[in-house]
Structure 1
Amino acid sequence: MTNGNTGLDHYASIRLDRTGQAEAFDAIGDHYDEAFPHKEGQVSAGEWLIGSLQAGARVLDLGCGTGVPTARQLTDAGFEVVGIDLSGGMVELAQEYVPGATFHQLDLADLRPGGPRDLGRFDAVAAFFSLLMLPRAEIPLALLTVRHLLAPGGLFILSMVEADVDDFSIPFLGNTIRVSGYLKEDLRKVIESGGFEIVKESSYTFAPAATDVPPEEQVFLCCRRRD
């Protein structure tokens, strides 16, 4: 398995471009939950996590957004929840909506092995529609970081939108964001190559309430860290 120093070398070899990403979600704010009111796949994956963890487990909500539904769902289940998001506006909303959790305005890259922030280790990490905000070249590094954050045998739940795109600009709720995606088989290979066993998979065809966001195929993977 790749060691931490090599991971840092890999991070140093690419340019981390977040231009406009946080600002877009600062502007979107509560409108995100209005545009995506039904999150059955996300809630279902959260239920799988709840049923798989011991009481009091420590969980990281990566790209927590407003904290709804995941941070709230996991906090209500009695877990110690820490959420991070690049958007300060989203972090403020999450602190308001889920006061029982702890939130930080951070980039996942800040938590890389040997990186500038250390939040400790977690029994599970949830990454719903957050990895798709990264260019493909960075996603293996993000998975390295997730694996680093997990305790041995830790659980990882994630979702992506099925699409063969890399750092592609799209209109999104009146703003522009850049997204990446994979076809399902390619996504499986990327996750497994990152050191995870896929335990459960599901997908949903989702039509957002917003008019400028097209219907999408959402893929949810429930995984375990391979040791």
Structure 2
Amino acid sequence: MKDRDKKNVFKVYDIVGDWFFENRSQSLMEKDHLDSLISKLPANARILDLGCGTGKPIYEYLIHKKFKVVGVDASEKMIGIAKKNFPSGEFYVQDMRELALNQKFDAIIAWHSFFHLQHPDQIEMFSNFKEFLFPNGMLLLTTGTEKTEVWSEINGKQLYHSSLSIEDYNELLKKNNFELINHTVNDVHCGGATVWLAKYLP
């Protein structure tokens, strides 16, 4: 792959997957945000984990809470590790931009995955969110705070991130019939994540 491939960030994870699994924090610092989502869901809710990676710790936490969780990731390596971690789990190698699932969900989570997409793809993703959510379904995702593109390094490989502005995301939510429930900017208790929780109201 090219050293800097904005369009296919998942290929980086195909290379660094084992390293990522060994080094990714398992502390579940996301717990407060996941619990906030869970409090809005019916019992036995169906959840789509977009960019599920190895399944640890988010997918794992959700299935322990007795939810039906489907994991999707574009990286074959990451899904391979996830299947080893959860042999009875439901996982698919798919690009979130081209989802092909004959299912709808009560919630979609795109935690530290959506922000690997370029600006036009992020905008288009809101159509996918709507397509795969039941009415009143919940959306939980992380973004940046300003319109920007950033390269970082992960185990010696270049990794692309991008963000629109907070104003852009508010407008996209409104335009696509999402009601904002909670928005936390640079959560110091969650690795500095900027987190959005919204409800789909068609």
- Tell me the TM-score normalized by structure 2: 0.85
Residue 226, structure 1, aligned to residue 183, structure 2: no
Paired residue for 1:143, among 126, 129, 135? 126
The separation in 2 between residues aligned to 1:99 and 1:43, in whole angstroms, is 24
Paired residue for 2:101, among 118, 124, 132? 118
Paired residue for 2:192, among 194, 212, 217? 217
SS in 1 for 2:53: coil
The separation in 1 between residues aligned to 2:110 and 2:176, in whole angstroms, is 14
Q: Is the 8 A contact 1:43 1:69 kept in 2?
A: no
Residue 62, structure 1, aligned to residue 50, structure 2: yes
Q: Name 1:49's counterpart in structure 2.
A: 37
Structure 2 stretches of 5 or more lacking a match? 1-5
SS in 2 for 1:29: helix
Q: State percent identity of aligned pairs.
A: 24
> Cα distance, 1:39 vs. partner?
4.2
Residues 35 and 55 (structure 1 numbering): CA distance in 2 closer, same or farther, change over 3 Å?
closer
> Cα distance, 1:68 vs. partner?
1.3
SS in 2 for 1:44: helix
SS in 2 for 1:65: coil
Structure 1 stretches of 5 or more lacking a match? 1-16, 112-116, 208-215
Instruction: Kindly tell me the number of residue pairs found equivalent between the two proteins.
Output: 195
The separation in 2 between residues aligned to 1:99 and 1:49, in whole angstroms, is 26
> Cα distance, 1:109 vs. partner?
2.3
> Cα distance, 1:31 vs. partner?
3.2
Q: What RMSD in Å do the two structures reach over aligned CA positions?
A: 2.2
Q: Name 1:28's counterpart in structure 2.
A: 16
> Cα distance, 1:174 vs. partner?
1.7
Letter in 1 for 2:183: E
SS in 1 for 2:80: helix
Residue 81, structure 1, aligned to residue 64, structure 2: no
> Cα distance, 1:56 vs. partner?
1.3
Letter in 2 for 1:52: K
Letter in 1 for 2:132: L
> Cα distance, 1:178 vs. partner?
1.8
> Cα distance, 1:190 vs. partner?
2.9
Q: Name 2:182's counterpart in structure 1.
A: 200
SS in 1 for 2:141: strand
